[in-house]
């Protein structure tokens, strides 16, 4: 594979960002009406960034691995990159530096103290995800909210634990959970792009991206646009099969170790119908846990395994 063909290709990223800008957007004069490529040409971007066209071309082709911070900053300014995109550019341009930190284990695990913490959050849906968006742990309400049709013990089986990205694109019941599925899909792909840039060389992550590209035309189309965004908080709308419509605020809290693990927490506005829905769902999850303790786990169908 060439640099532009890899899942995290620097050339692909730079071309998509050049394509979204026109010369007039950045104060340049466009000569002639026929342009072979959309957006800025390489020579126009090189001019804006103050580098030679030869140097920029080598960078876009993945042939320059010693690019300075000053050059990357100049290119980011010329392309009008936001903070997430700027960081992504640096990761792609310096794959060795991006890979520093704790190496990913083949099967990652949530720390016992983190599992203990989310278990104590009986009224808050909580899910711990790994760098590849795999579920490392969830409390009963987190499980009931996002994947009640799956085995609650799934995260404890590393070989086939659920993955939120895989569920979103390949599991019909998870898709039905999101009335604004397209927006959720864009956010998931943008997160995976960032993760791929941060953790280059992660074979399991590359395999996940390949699986989703083959299994979902929608994922493949979104991936080709190279979206980059790290959504750490916001609002999600859900159409839950047990309690109906929910509007929930969420926070994605990075855990302190250099692992890429996050804790996803959900809450509803006080006094809102969604708060009442969460209380009802908590009662339903508690009842289901009680039945399981007495009868053992019921057969679970339709799970999407990793």
123 and 270 fall within a common domain: yes
174 and 264 fall within a common domain: yes
Mean pLDDT for the chain?
86
42 and 79 fall within a common domain: yes
**Least confident residue range of 106-110, 224-228, 271-275:** 106-110
pLDDT of residue 296 exceeding 90: no
pLDDT at 168: 97
82 and 141 fall within a common domain: no
What does the alpha-carbon distance between residue 138 and residue 118 come to, in Å, rounded to a whole number? 7
Above pLDDT 70, what percent of the chain?
Answer: 85
150 Cβ partners below 8 Å, 6+ apart?
Answer: 143, 162, 300, 303
**Least confident residue range of 39-43, 130-134, 207-211, 273-277:** 39-43
67 and 126 fall within a common domain: no
**Least confident residue range of 230-244, 255-269, 280-294:** 280-294
Going by C-alpha positions, the residue among 130, 84, 98 that lies closest to residue 199 is 98
* pTM attached to this predicted model: 0.81
Q: Do residues 13 and 92 make contact, with C-beta atoms less than 8 angstroms apart?
A: yes
| Residue 263 burial (CB count, 10 A) | 21
By residue range, what is the domain housing residue 204? 112-295
pLDDT at 305: 40
133 and 256 fall within a common domain: yes
C-alpha torsion angle, residues 130, 134, 140, 144 (rounded to 10): 140
265 Cβ partners below 8 Å, 6+ apart?
Answer: 121, 124, 125, 126, 250, 251, 253
List the CATH number of the domain containing 77: 1.10.260.40
The string of pLDDT tens digits covering residues 149-174 is 999 999 999 888 999 999 999 999 99
Going by C-alpha positions, the residue among 160, 167, 173, 174 that lies closest to residue 204 is 160
Q: Which of 65, 98, 131 is the last residue of a domain?
A: 98
pLDDT of residue 142 exceeding 60: yes
Three-state DSSP state, 141: helix
**Least confident residue range of 62-76, 136-150, 263-277:** 62-76
List the CATH number of the domain containing 157: 3.30.450.180
Structurally, how many domains does the chain consist of?
A: 2
């Amino acid at each position: 594979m060439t640099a532009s063909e890899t899942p995290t290709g620097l050339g692909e990223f730079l071309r998509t960002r050049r394509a979204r800008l026109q010369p007039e957007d950045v104060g340049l004069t466009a000569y002639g009406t026929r342009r072979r490529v959309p957006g800025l040409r390489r020579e126009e971007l090189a001019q804006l960034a103050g580098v030679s066209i030869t140097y920029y071309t080598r960078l876009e082709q993945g042939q320059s691995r010693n690019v300075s911070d000053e050059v990357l900053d100049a290119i980011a300014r010329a392309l009008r990159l936001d903070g997430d995109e700027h960081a992504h550019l640096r990761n792609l341009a310096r794959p060795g530096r991006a890979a520093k930190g704790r190496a990913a284990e083949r099967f990652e695990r949530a720390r016992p103290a983190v599992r203990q913490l989310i278990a104590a959050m009986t009224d808050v849906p909580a899910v711990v995800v790994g760098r590849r968006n795999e579920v490392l742990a969830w409390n009963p309400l987190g499980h009931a909210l996002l994947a009640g049709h799956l085995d609650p013990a799934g995260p404890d089986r590393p070989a086939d634990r659920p993955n939120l990205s895989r569920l979103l694109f390949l599991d019909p019941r998870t898709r039905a959970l999101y009335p604004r599925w397209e927006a959720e899909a864009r956010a998931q792909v943008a997160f995976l792009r960032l993760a791929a840039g941060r953790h280059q060389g992660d074979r399991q992550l590359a395999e996940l991206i390949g699986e989703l590209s083959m299994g979902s035309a929608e994922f493949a189309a979104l991936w080709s646009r190279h979206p980059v965004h790290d959504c750490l908080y916001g609002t999600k709308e859900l159409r839950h099969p047990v309690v109906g419509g929910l509007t929930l605020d969420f926070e994605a809290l990075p855990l302190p170790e250099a692992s890429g693990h996050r804790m996803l927490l959900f809450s509803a506005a006080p006094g809102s119908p969604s708060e009442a829905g969460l209380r009802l769902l908590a009662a339903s999850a508690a009842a289901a846990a009680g039945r399981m303790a007495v009868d053992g786990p019921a057969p679970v169908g339709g799970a999407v395994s990793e």
